[in-house]
Structure 1
Amino acid sequence: MIIRLPCVDSTNSYVLKHATQLDHLTLVTADEQTAGRGRFQRKWYSPPGQNFYGTLLIKDLPPHCQPHESMATLAMAALATLQQEGRLHRAWLKWPNDIYVGHAKLAGLLAESAIIEKHTVFAIGLGVNLNMPQAELAKIDKPATSYLNETGKSWSPPDFTQNLYQQILHYWQRLTDHHHEFIEEWIRLSPLPGKQVTIDTGQERLCGKVLSIQPDGTLRLQLPDGTSRNFICGDVSLTEFTQ
C-alpha cells in the first residue's frame, strides 16, 4: 500500500506514530517534509514538490533475517529503480545507507525502530534528489546531485514512487524466499572493497582499505598498522573513486 501525504514533519515520525494502524510494507510518502532528518539527527533538506521523501514500514521481519537487511531491501529497490527505470547506471550503493553518483550523494536512508505491543517494527526512510536544480543542490553542505542534474530529465515523484514500490515488493520476496542470494547481491552491489576510505564513527576518525562487507552488515577495514577492524556503522568517504 502507498499513502501519499501533502506535507508532514517527517515520514519516519509519521510511520512510527501510526504503525499500529498501518499494514506491513506500507510506503508513506510526502510532497514536503518540514523536519526531515538523516543519521545523527542531521537535517534532510526537503523542498516541496521536487524530490521523493518516503518511509517503508516493516512489521514482519522474517526470523532468519537481521535488522540491517530491512534497510538493504529499500536501498536495493531504490538503486534498481534509478538504474533500470531511470537509466542512471552510474548510481552505486555506499555503505551503509547512501546512494551516490561518483562522489556526490543522490539518496540517503535512515532506519529507525520501535517496540509496539511487544513487537519490533522498522521505519526505513528514503530521500531521493529527483528534480533539484544545481542552485538548490548548492544549498546542501556536502557534495550532492540529483536525477535531473545527472540526466537532464525530470521524474515526477508519484511516477518514481510507483516504480519504486514494485521493486520493493520484488526485493522483499527475494529477502524472504532467497535470503542467501539476497545478501550476496547486496554485498556485490557495493564497489567499496579494495578502496581506500576514511570512516568517521562519531568517536574516532580512521583511514584504511576496505577488505570486505560482511553478511552481518559490518564493514571490515584494514588499518595502516596492518590490523583489521569491523565497523557496524559510520560515515565513509572515499580517498579515491573509480567505477
Structure 2
Amino acid sequence: MTSSDAEGNRWSDLGRPPLNAASLRRALVREGGLWTSLDVVASTGSTNSDLVGRAGELPEGAVLVAEEQSAGRGRLDRQWSAPARSGLFFSVLLKPAEVPVERWGWLPLLTGVAVATGLSRAAGVDTALKWPNDLLVTVGGAERKAGGILAERAGGAVDGGGGVVVGVGLNVTLREDELPVPTAGSLGLAGAVSTDRDPLLRAVLRALEQWYGDWRAAGGDPGASRLQETYAAGCATLGRTVRAELPGDRSITGEAVAVDGDGRLVLATEDGVQQPVGAGDIVHLRGAG
C-alpha cells in the first residue's frame, strides 16, 4: 500500500475506526422519538451549512455527522479543522414551533448541558461549560477547550420549514502533537474511560433528546424545565472575574454572577452595576476571590 493509499483509507488509523451509521440509526431513530434521520458522511465542508441549506425540506430531528470537516465553523465565522475520525462533528435540526422565538437563544446552552450530561455517563469525563458555547475539560490540572457549539437560524417561519440548526464539534482522540493551540484539549487527554465514538454519540444525542423534550414541554421556560439552574451548576464561567469582549471593540470586566432568564451572562462590575451580556467573547481572567 502506498502512502497516498493509506491516507485515503478509512481504516488507515486503527485507533480511529469509522462510525457505524446503521447501528447508530437502529439505536436512535425510532417511532415517536425526536431523531428522524441520521446520516454519516466521510467528509464535508460544514455539517451546519449542509443542514441549514436543507432545513426547509427536512423534518425536525435530522442528524448529520461528518467523519471530517474541511471548513468547520465556530462562532464569529472562525474556521477550524481536525484529523479525520478524531472527534464528533455533527449537527441537528430543531423546530420548536410551540416555543416563543425569543427563547430559542437557550438552545446552544441546552445543547451544552446535554453534551456534558452525555459525556459524564459515557466517557466518565467532567465537562464544564464556558459561557456561552465552549466545552472544557481538565488536562494536567488546567482547563482546556475540547469542543464548541454553534446554533444558526435556518429557513423562515417554523411552519414554513424553518428552525434552528445546532452544531457540535468535540475533540475525542486528538493527541498532544495534533492540538491546534496549546489551550485545546480532548477527551482522551482528559483521561476518558472510553473514546469509542459510537456510544459517545448515542449518549449525547439521547441526553439532547431528553433535555430538548423537557424544555419544549415547558414552553421554553428555562426555570420550569430546570435548564437554567442546571446550566449554572455546570458553568465554569460563574464566580470568576472575566472580560467580555463586545461588538464594536468594547469590553467589560467584572465578576460573572449569574445567567439570567434570557440566557445572558450577568457581570457585576467594580462600580456596582450588574451588566447582562448577550453576545461576545468571554475571557476567564481568574477565579473568584
Q: TM-score with structure 1 length normalisation?
A: 0.90
Superposed, which structure 2 residues align to 1:111-190 within 5 Å? 111-116=151-156, 118=160, 120-137=162-179, 139-140=180-181, 143-151=183-191, 155-178=195-218, 179=221, 180=224, 181-190=226-235
Q: Aligned runs of 1:189-200 on 2, under 5 Å?
A: 189-200=234-245
Q: Secondary structure at the match of 2:189?
A: helix
Tell me what 1:110 maps to.
Answer: 150
Deviation at 1:187, TM superposition (A): 2.8
Whole-Å separation in 2 of the counterparts to 1:191 and 1:135:
26
Aligned to 1:86: 123
Q: Structure 2: which 5+ runs fail to align?
A: 1-36
1:172 positional shift: 1.4
State the one-letter code of the partner of 1:164. V
Q: Distance in 1 between matches of 2:287 and 2:120?
A: 19
Equivalent residues of 2:244, 2:251 under 8 A apart: yes
Matching residue of 1:232: 278
Contact 2:232/2:238 (<8 A) preserved: no
Q: Distance in 1 between matches of 2:85 and 2:238?
A: 37
What is residue 16 of structure 1 aligned with on the other side? 52
CA contact (8 A) 1:11 1:28 kept: yes
Asked which structure has the greater CA Rg, the reply is 2
Partner of 2:264: 218
Runs of 5+ unmatched residues, structure 1: none
Secondary structure of the corresponding residue to residue 80 of structure 2: coil
**Structure 1 residues 14-56: Cα deviation after superposition (integer angstroms, max 9, x where no partner):** 0011112322122211001111110111112232111110111
**2:206 is paired with a residue of what secondary structure?**
helix
Which residue number corresponds to residue 32 of structure 1? 68
Q: Distance in 2 between matches of 1:170 and 1:216?
A: 21
**C-alpha distance in 2 between matches for 1:241 and 1:148:** 26
Q: Could you tell me how far apart the structure 1 residues matched to 2:97 and 2:41 are? A: 25
Superposition deviation, residue 209 in structure 1: 0.8
Residue 67 (structure 1) aligns with? 104
Q: In 2, Cα distance between the equivalents of 1:152 and 1:218?
A: 31
After superposition, give the CA deviation of every residue in 1:125-175 in whole Å (9 maximum; x if it has no partner). Answer: 1100101000011x23x6111001111655133332222111111111211
User: For the residues of structure 2 that align with 1:149 and 1:48, how far apart are their CA atoms?
Assistant: 17
Asked if 2 retains the 8 angstrom alpha-carbon contact of 1:52 and 1:127, the reply is yes
Kept in 1: contact 2:55–2:161 (CA 8 A): no
Distance 2:170 2:97 in 1: 24
Report if the CA contact (8 A) 1:211-1:222 is conserved: yes
Once residues 108 and 241 of structure 1 are traced to their aligned partners in structure 2, the CA distance between those partners, rounded to angstroms, is 22
